[in-house]
Structure formats: structure tokens, C-alpha cells
Chain A
């Protein structure tokens, strides 16, 4: 039995279509949470954040949208996701109850640095959730009146996703 050298030549593959190689990627998804604005007076004050979505993923009906939402809206969204899907939803930035107590030295929940922290956390949350492939197929979650739909089915799994055999379409 002769000792043969293994054939390590590459397997044949179809040359890539140049349109595919140099065209726009089909995974474009940009979510920004910015422009916090505190509205209202006294006890009824609350902060809203602008959510800007730009995408070319087919699952999103609108390729561009801009809405304003507040923290409790995010909490509602997260609650819906935890209930409806089987995966672990990422955490939101904190509720900061201690900041809502009276007699604080600073502005409490309307403090600039706190708002910035929260804004960053909300952006991270939405990115994790909107980018999740399994969750993207869940029915739309957000139904509150607003100019544009929120990203669909948002869930972030920390566990692995099993690739299932797909039938050729």
C-alpha cells in the first residue's frame, strides 16, 4: 500500500457574480437612538428618544423610519417579547427608581448624564433585538399609535441557533 500525499486542492466553486460581490450587502441594519427630549411639566414630565431605523432587510416593511418613544414603551416591548418568544431577551438599562426619589441633589431621571446612559443602553437593546434572525419572524409587536412600525420581533438569544436544513426554493 503506497503512501500517497493527500490531495489538498480546493473544491470547485462557482465564480461569484460581480453584482453580488460589489453590490450593497443584504444585511444593512442601522438603528440609532438619539435626540432625547424632556416634555411636560412637574410630575408629568417624561423623556422621549428618537429612534431612527435604516435597513434593507426584507422583513421590515419600511426601509426608513423615525419615531419617538419613551422608556416605558421599551419596557412594554420587552415584556411582549419575553412572553411571546422562547429566547432570552437582553436587559434594558435600569429603571433607576432611586433617582425618582425626592430630595436629590441632581436632576434625578432628567439628569443629562443619566439620560445619555439610558440612551446608549436603549440603542444597544434595540440593536441586539432587531438584528436577531429568529425573532425577526415573530408577528409585529408594537401596536401603539405612532407614525411608523417598530422593528418586528425583537429578541436576543444568548444561546446558539441551530441551522436547520433548508429546502431549495
Chain B
């Protein structure tokens, strides 16, 4: 008899481990699943998937369906809850998740479920200060996690969402213009029409040759993404050349002006992220490279700020999403957006 009991306990443990014959299934469904837009996002293993798109200040609401596998059998539990989490995960330190948003709603006190049940939830005007990011050494994600707590093993379900941070046209957007070179050999003046570009913008510029005493073969402009993780002595930069765009083939002479027109929409880029939660940064640089006949490279790197422009505001968009699309770059704090949203909701 005791052997029989021992065996059944072991099997039960294994079943929970491998989710084999879990007593219940959880399903998370958003209220606006039909109308909410989805955004594509590349996961750590390079696969592209679509996730519901949210903006800062928007309410996250829906319901969770707890479906009992065996409708006759009761499900004992230690509580049912749902969490909204925003966290940063550094790949070299996977154990430590840095949660910058952590909200929880208790849906049911410890007890038992006699039948499948649905629980409503609402996280009102949730602050989502940063954009979802999956990089080479760091990941920032937002997700809902519904949990049915049990004695041995919890049953949980996670649903990732994607957050975009929007800005509007910056008030100040000076051009970048500089004269650089090597004494007596090469003097150029480069100009880029702006210092801040949105993700679907066009870089319009020119390279003006003042002095050319070397034999140039061609010239290109590269877009470099630099992901910086860690602080202090353990800072790590990961550089990635996102684009290489040849702008000149052949040898220029003094007085020649080479135009630049580089469409950013064709490249996979994110907005510039500076010191996110003091954990990481993602910055972009334009690298102007001249190559001479002996394959010697002459370069000038210049940082540009990338920002995400909201889509055209349509009447059907919710008021909260409208606020999201009209955020001003860097200035407005999330509190004022929340206040405004709260006022509009109650008014």
C-alpha cells in the first residue's frame, strides 16, 4: 500500500515538472484583442513574431480563462493573481532580472475551483517608460503573467507585449556641419541636414572637398549601432554595422560636392536609448569612410539621435493611444500624461 502511494506521488511530481497532464490551462485575453495593433519584434533567437502594441500610459485590461483539464475534478490552489512586469535582463547575468515596473492584481483568494472560470483584470494607465528591446547582450521586455499558485508547482502563463516609445518632431534639430581632415592631405566639409532623425526619415547631406592630395577610390557612409551594457569598469560596447551605403565611386577633386540621400526606413533600427534604467544604452552613429587606392581608410564618426514617430492619428484611436502619439521628446514626464489621461477619462 505504501509503495503504491509513493509511486503515485512521484508520478504526480513528474507530471507537473513536464507540464504533462497539468490540471488546468490558463489563457490570457486582452479586452481589445480585436482592435489593438500588433507590432513585429525579433526575439533572441532571431525569429520575428507579432505582439500586441502598447504605449506609455495605456491601460492594460482583459481577462484570464482558467480551464480545468478534468471538469469533474476540483482544483485546489493557493491563490490566483495576475502581474504586469517590465524588466531588464542582462545576458551575462541571467539570474538577476531588474524589474522597473511590477504591478500585481489578486484575482482569487486561496480556495478551489470546481469548474473552469474567467477572471477580469485591469491595470489602469500603466507607466511604460522604456521601449521593448532585444539586443546582443541585453533584453528589455514587458509581459503579463497569470499564476495559479499551488502547493507543489504553480501553473502560470506569460504573455509578452511590445511597447513603443513615441516622440514628436523636436523643436531644436540643428544640422551637423564640420570641417575635418589631415593637414595638407585631405580637407573635407561634411554636412547632415539634421542631428535627430525619426526611423522613417531620410538623411540628406553632402560632402564638400576642399583639398584632395591623396588618391581616393571611393567613399561610403555606414550606420553603426552601439549597444552598451554594464557600468563603471565593466562597461561593454557591442558595435554592429547596420548599413553600408556607397556614396561616391572614383577620385574627387577640389570643389566637388557629393550628395547624400540615405533612406532610413529600409533598415532595422530602434530609437536611441540613453542609459535605460542605468543598465544599458543603444546609440547610433554615422560613419563617413573614404578609402584610397592603397586601401587606407579615413573616417569620421558622428552620433545621430533616432526617435520613433507616432502614426497618423486616426479618429478611431483611443484617447490614451492619442496621448502616446503626441508625446514630446524628452520633456513631458509620464505623470503629466497620466494626469491628462485621467482627466479625460473622468470628464
Give the interface of A toward B (CB within 8 A).
1-3, 6-11, 13-14, 16-17, 20-21, 23, 25-27, 29, 57-59, 127-128, 131-134, 136-137, 156-158, 160-166, 168
Contact = CB atoms under 8 A, between A and B. Distances in A.
Contacts of A3: 311-312
Interface string B290-306: 00111111111000000
A163 B188 contact: yes
Interface of B: 168, 178-188, 191, 193, 200-202, 204-206, 208, 211-215, 251, 253-257, 259, 261, 292-300, 310-313, 325-326
A133 to B, nearest CB: 4
A166 B180 CA distance: 5
Contacts of A132: 294, 296
A25 B183 CA distance: 18
A130 to B, nearest CB: 10
A134 B294 CA distance: 14
Contacts of A11: 191, 193, 204-206, 259
What's the dominant secondary structure at chain A's contact region?
Answer: loop
A16 B210 CA distance: 11
Given A27-B214, A57-B213, A131-B215, 4 more contacts: A14-B255, A27-B213, A163-B299, A166-B179
A156 B294 contact: yes
Nearest to A7: B204
Contact of B185 (A10, A133, A156): A133
Contacts of A58: 184, 213
B204 A8 contact: yes
A161 B297 contact: yes
A26 B212 contact: yes
Contacts of B253: 20-21, 23, 25-26
Contacts of B213: 26-27, 57-58, 133
Nearest to A58: B184
A46 to B, nearest CB: 29
A13 B313 contact: no
A39 B300 CA distance: 50
A1 B212 contact: no
A46 B259 CA distance: 54
Contacts of A136: 184-185
Contacts of B326: 1
11 contacts: A8-B202, A14-B208, A23-B253, A25-B251, A58-B184, A156-B294, A161-B299, A163-B186, A163-B299, A163-B300, A165-B178
Given A26-B254, A136-B185, A8 B261 contact: yes
